[in-house]
Structure formats: structure tokens, C-alpha cells
Structure 1
Amino acid sequence: MKKLALAICLLVVSIAAQAQFEKGKMILNPSVTGLDFSYNKNDKATFGIGAQAGTFLADGIALMVNLGADWSKPVDEYTLGTGMRFYFNSTGVYLGGGLDWNRFRYDGGSHRTDWGLGIEAGYAYFLSRTVTIEPAVYYKWRFNDSDMSRFGIKIGFGFYF
């Protein structure tokens, strides 16, 4: 009996989640925890913040815009980018990718900019009908300086309207 009740609960949750990935819905995804643990050759481990916002162009396909900042020594990094997310059915599993622009500021006052491509895979776990917690893994590849490429994990919250 418990297995049947669990199956019914999961079915109800997946039906509610599907409604959130429909065309015309909007998503706001801040990393309010500030957790963005990542690794690259220069910084080893860093912590940062970020936010994404977007709209669903079709069922399960979202156009995203993102902003981010990472104040790690010896390099501060600021990010602006755009990309897409593809949600698989109503499970909440997604793949994303996009292009971003980064500005790196070094301790000595020098700075430079770079473009990069990013990919991510994550899961939108619904805490309520419109609020999710979204763990993800990602890789950001830099065009000009591969040492600034980054692999990491992040945890954020999603708000679906």
C-alpha cells in the first residue's frame, strides 16, 4: 500500500512539474546560497554567486540570460551570458548551454576580457508548485585562456511563474 501511495504522489508531482515547463512560463534562478564551488588551474577552489532568468520559448525549451560574480583572490571574475535549457519530459532533469563574456580583474589592477562556452546538467527538484532547488554540474571553456576554464558544481533555487 505504501508503494502505491508513493507512486501516486510521484505522478502528481510530475504532472505539476510539467505545467511549469510550458511555453510562455518564466524562470528566475538565483544562487541565493552563494554556493558555486568550482575548480580551475589558477584558483583551485572558489565560491561565487550568480543569477539566471529566462522564458520558455516552447514546452521544455527555455532561453536564459545569466549574470555572475566571483570575488576570489588573486582574480575577480564578472560574467554576462545567454544560453538555452532543454528539460527532459516532466522529470526536471535538464541540459543547458550557452555563450558568455567574462571580465577578469587581477590584484595588481590589470584586467582582461574573454569569451567562453558553457554546458551544464542539473535537476529541478520541486519543493512546491513554483519553487525548486537546482543542483547542477557545469563546465565553462574559455576561448583565449584555457587555464581559466572551469569545472564545478552549483546549487541554486528556481522560481517558475
Structure 2
Amino acid sequence: MKKITFTLAALAGLAFANQANAQLQKGTFLVGGQLGNLNFGLGSSNNVSLSLSPKVGYFIQNNLAIGAEVPIGFTAIKGKDPIFNYGIGAFGRYYFAPKEFNIDNVLNKGRFFGEVGVGIAGQTDVEVGFNLRIGAGYAYFLTPNVALETMVRYQGTYGTGNTSGLDINLGFQIHLPSKKIKSEYYQIRDEAGARKSSKQSEEE
């Protein structure tokens, strides 16, 4: 009985891993972003901050996605007024393929990734400057299409007022295959056309 249970669990885990990997293939859209940011202040920063960084990306090849993000948020510094942050930039993300498969390893439901981003960013009372972001993280797939992720990232903004620091970002990503999006679009279009034709027939 234990052997049967283990076999079924192994097959289920293998199927899940294969489905998750399929969402990292060329032609898949990436939608989501980081919802939280805890800054440790390695650099010129020494504060706690919260941010929201919406992202939209597209896999130009298997495991490699590029896209855009719009980070916004605020930084709370003890004894000072809050600082509001804003920016816009582009990013590239690469998911590393696992070197070996072990069905008992929880890491098979996720993938490690590296990310690099560039853009412009500014904050209260500081002019907009060049922004650079370099990080590494792990995405854990709750379902084949939805992943929770955490990322350790160094980022710096260079201009009139330079800032830099190391932070931890928590967030989620939704993986949407382009074929599925097209299929749903055509289905909605056909249904709308059918309703329109039916209404015209009734009026006649």
C-alpha cells in the first residue's frame, strides 16, 4: 500500500513539475509584481519601505522573459517625513533549469531565477536618475500558472541624489500562455458575433 501511495505521489509531482515548466516556454506572458519590500540598508539606505512593482513580461525563448515594470511606493525613516518613490524600467529574467530530479524535493515545484533591470527612478525632493537592479530569487508554483516568489535584489539610483541598497522582495507572477489568450479572445468574439446575429434575426 505504501509503495502504491508513493508511486501515485511521484507521478502527481512529476506531472505538476512538467506543467510548471511548460509555463516558462516561449510565447508565455508574465503578469504580476512585487508586493513587499524590506530594505536592510546595505549601502547609503537605512530604512524600512513598502512598494508595489507591477510587471508585464513575455518569454522570447524558453526560460527567458523580458518586459517592463513600474515601481511605486514609499519609504519610512524614523524622525523624518515619508519619501515617495516612483519609476519605470525594463527587465530581463532567466529561470534556471534543475540539474537533477528528486520527487521528494519541494524545489521541483519551483524554479530559481536571476533578474536584471534598468530604467529611471526618482523620489521626493530628488531628481530622476538612472536606476539599476540586479537580483536572484525563487518562484514556487502554487498551480501551473500561479507562482509565489521571493527575491534578494541590489538596486541603485544614480543622479543628483545617489541611493543604493540590498532588499528582499515578495510577490507573485501569473503565467499566461499566448495560445490560451488567443483561444479565449476568439471564443468571446465568436460568442459576441452569434448574439449580434441572433438579435438581428429577431428584429427582422
Contact 2:128 2:159 in 1 (8 A): no
Please list the CA deviations of residues 5-28 of structure 1 after superposition, one character each: whole Å capped at 9, or x if unmatched: 444333222201111011111000
Deviations 1:59-85 (A, max 9, x none): 111002111112224421102110100
Distance 1:60 1:152 in 2: 24
The separation in 2 between residues aligned to 1:38 and 1:145, in whole angstroms, is: 21
| Structure that is richer in strand per residue | 1
Structure 2 match to 1:126: 141
More helix by share: 2
In the alignment, structure 2 segments of 5+ residues that lack a partner are 76-80, 99-109, 177-204
Alignment of 1:60-139 (within 5 A): 60-72=63-75, 73-89=81-97, 91-105=110-124, 110-139=125-154
Q: Could you report, residue by residue, the CA deviation over 1:25-45 in whole angstroms, capped at 9, with x for unpaired residues?
A: 1000233xx321123334422
Query: Which residue number in structure 1 is paired with residue 157 of structure 2?
Result: 142
Provide the secondary structure at the position in 2 that maps to 1:92: strand
Counterpart of 1:39 in structure 2 is 40
The question of whether the paired residues in 2 share the 8 Å contact of 1:115 and 1:142 is answered with yes
Q: Runs of 4+ in structure 1 displaced over 6 angstroms?
A: none
Structure 1: distance between partners of 2:21 and 2:171: 20
Residue of structure 2 equivalent to 1:12: 15
Check conservation: 2:126, 2:160, Cα contact below 8 A.
Answer: no
Q: Which has the larger radius of gyration?
A: 2
Aligned-pair RMSD on alpha carbons?
Answer: 2.1
TM-score scaled to structure 1, two decimals?
A: 0.85
TM-score, normalised relative to structure 2: 0.68
Q: How much has 1:143 moved relative to structure 2?
A: 2.8
Paired residues, number:
155
Unaligned runs of 5+ residues in structure 1 are none
Percent identity between matched residues is 22
